[in-house]
Structure 1
Amino acid sequence: MTDELKEDLVAVIAELEKKCKEHPDNVMAFQHLGLVYMKAGRMEEAVTALKRTIEIDDLCTEAMINLGAIYFGMGEIDKAQKLNEQAVGIQPENAQAHANLGLIWQQRNELEKALEAYNKAVQFNPKLASTWINLTSILTMKGEDERAVEAARKALNLEPDSPLGHNNLAVALYFVEKYEDSKNHMLKAKDLGYSVDPNFVEKLEEKIS
C-alpha cells in the first residue's frame, strides 16, 4: 500500500468514525467503515464496525458476508459458516455467500457439500472466476475430469491471467490425457509466478517423453 493511499484511508476512516459517532444508527456509515477498516488491514476494528452494522440492520447480508470473510481469515470457521448461512437464509440466491460456504466446506474436507455450494454460486453468478477455479479443484479431487476441464476453461475465460487457473487447467488436462495442452498451461502458470508442484511437472514430462 502506497503512502498516499494510506493517507487517503486515514482521512476516510476519520470522517466515517465521526459520522458513526454522530449518527450511531446509520447502517451505511458503519458498513462503509467496516469495509475501509478491512482495506486498511485493521481487522479487529472492522469486526466491531460490521457487528454494529448487523445490530442495526439484521438483514444486511453484505455485512454478514464481509464479517464472515474476516472470521474465515482468522481461522474462526464456525463463525464464518454461521454468518454465510444466515446470509443465504435471507437471500437464497446470494452467489458470494454460497461461494464462501463452498470454501468453508472445502476447508472441512466435506467435498460433496463444497461441490453443492460452488455449483449454486456459479448458477446464481456465472462470472465468479475464483469459484470456477475452486470448483475445478473439487471436481479433480472427485475424479470428474471432463467437468474439471470445463470449469477451468470457464475460469480462464473470465480471468485469462490467473496463475492458479492455468495450473488447475493443466492438472485437469493431465487427467484427460491431453498432455501437451497440460504442459502449455503448466508453463503459463509458471510464467505468471505460480509455484507449480515439481512432482506434477515430473509426471507430466514422463507422459510426454
Structure 2
Amino acid sequence: MTEQKHEDLETVIEELEKKCAEHPESVMAHHHLGLVYMKAGRIEDAIASLEKAIEVDPLNGDSMINLGAIHFGQGDLEKALKLNEEAVRVQPESAQAYANLGLIWQQQSELEKAIENYEKALQYDPKLVTAWLNLTSVLTMKGEDDRAVKAAKKGLEIDPDSALGHNNLAVALYFKQEFAEAYKHMQRAKELGYSVDPNFSAKLQEHVS
C-alpha cells in the first residue's frame, strides 16, 4: 500500500511539474508542487518550488509559512522567523503564522514573545489546538499554573483525544498540586500513545499512592 501511495505521489508531481513548466506564473501550481515535494521527502525541491511561488507573488503568505516550516524543521530558526514575520506582514490575520512565531520564540526561550504570539494566533483562530497546547507549555515554564490549566482545558475542549493536551494538562495540574486529577490526565495521555516522561510519571505516582 505504501508503494502504491508513493507511485500516486510521483504521478501528482509529474503533473504539477508539467503545469509549472506550461504556466510559470501560476503561483498555486508552484505552491502545490512544493507541498507535494514535502510529502515525498524531496525537501530541496520543495524549498525551490515554494521560493518560486513567493518570487511570482511576493504577497503569498501561505508559501512563506510552509517554507518557514521547512527551515524550522532543519533548525534554521532565523530563516523561519523572517518568513513567518513576512507572512504576518502580508497576511495580518494569519493565525498559523503567529502560532509559528510563538513556537520559534519558545525554542529560543523568549517566553513573553512566545505567549504574545500564541495569544495573537488564538485571537484570529480560537480553535487552533496547537496554539493552546504550546501556550500551556510556556505558561507552565513561567510558573503561571492557573493560566496553564485553563489553556490546556481549552485545547482539550477542541480536541478531547489530544495525547499532548492531556500530558500538558497533567503537568500543569501537578504544579498546582492537584495530583489525583493530574494522574488521571497522565494516564489518558499514555492511553492515547504519548511517551510520558518517566521521571514525571514516577513523581506523580508517589503523590497518589
When the two structures are superposed, what TM-score results if normalisation uses the length of structure 1?
0.96
1:36-185 alignment, distance < 5 Å: 36-185=36-185
Secondary structure at 2:161's aligned position in 1? coil
Task: Measure the CA separation in 1 of the matches of 2:13 and 2:144.
Answer: 47
* Corresponding residue pairs, total: 209
| CA shift for structure 1 position 24 | 1.2
| CA shift for structure 1 position 202 | 2.3
Task: Measure the CA separation in 2 of the matches of 1:26 and 1:199.
Answer: 52
Task: Measure the CA separation in 2 of the matches of 1:205 and 1:63.
Answer: 46
Secondary structure at 2:24's aligned position in 1? coil
Counterpart of 1:14 in structure 2 is 14
Question: Mind listing any 5+ residue stretches in structure 2 that lack a counterpart?
Answer: none
| CA shift for structure 1 position 103 | 0.7
What amino acid is aligned across from residue 151 of structure 2 in structure 1? A
Post-superposition, which runs of at least 4 consecutive aligned residues in structure 1 deviate over 6 A?
none
| CA shift for structure 1 position 154 | 1.2
Secondary structure at 1:118's aligned position in 2? helix
Are residue 27 (structure 1) and residue 13 (structure 2) matched? no
CA deviation string 1:109-132 (max 9, x = no partner): 111111111110111101111111
Question: Mind listing any 5+ residue stretches in structure 1 that lack a counterpart?
Answer: none
> Over aligned residue pairs, what C-alpha RMSD do you find?
1.1
What amino acid is aligned across from residue 145 of structure 2 in structure 1? D
| CA shift for structure 1 position 78 | 0.6
What amino acid is aligned across from residue 50 of structure 1 in structure 2? L
Task: Measure the CA separation in 2 of the matches of 1:12 and 1:39.
Answer: 11
| CA shift for structure 1 position 155 | 1.1
Give identity over the alignment, percent. 64
Structure 1 range deviating more: 81-90 or 185-194: 185-194
Task: Measure the CA separation in 1 of the matches of 2:133 and 2:4.
Answer: 34
